[in-house]
């Protein structure tokens, strides 16, 4: 299982989650991205990031709300094709 970053992170990018991640699996490109992304292959499902997020943008895979489900694909896609993932982030 992994965690996903969702809509509330867009244009906020607090990075508290980055500071607490023990495996450094949360990334973004400064000046390019409007949100942060969790690498599902590196995430160890420790859950440290979820309570650290001040805007409640991080969910465990099994707890992802239906209205945020597109962000599972966006997080995964960013690690394969960052430009394609950026295009899917809502304006």
| Mean pLDDT for all residues in the chain | 97
pLDDT-above-70 percentage for the chain: 100
CA dist 56 and 28 (Å) reads: 18
Q: Residue with structure tokens 């440290």?
A: 48
- pLDDT tens per residue, range 35-57: 999 999 999 999 999 999 999 99
Six token digits for residue 89: 């982030």
Q: DSSP string of 37-50?
A: EE-TTT------HH
- Specify the pTM: 0.95
Quick one: pLDDT at residue 91? 86
Six token digits for residue 4: 């996903």
Quick one: pLDDT at residue 1? 84
- pLDDT tens per residue, range 67-78: 999 999 999 999
């Amino acid at each position: 299982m992994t965690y996903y970053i969702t809509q509330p992170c867009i244009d906020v990018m607090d990075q508290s989650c980055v500071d607490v991640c023990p495996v450094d699996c949360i990334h973004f490109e400064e000046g390019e991205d409007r949100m942060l992304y969790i690498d599902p292959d590196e995430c160890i499902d420790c859950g440290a990031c979820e309570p650290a997020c001040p805007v409640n943008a991080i969910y465990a895979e099994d707890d992802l709300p239906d209205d945020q489900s597109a962000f599972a694909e966006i997080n995964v896609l960013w690690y394969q094709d960052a430009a394609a993932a950026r295009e899917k982030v809502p304006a």
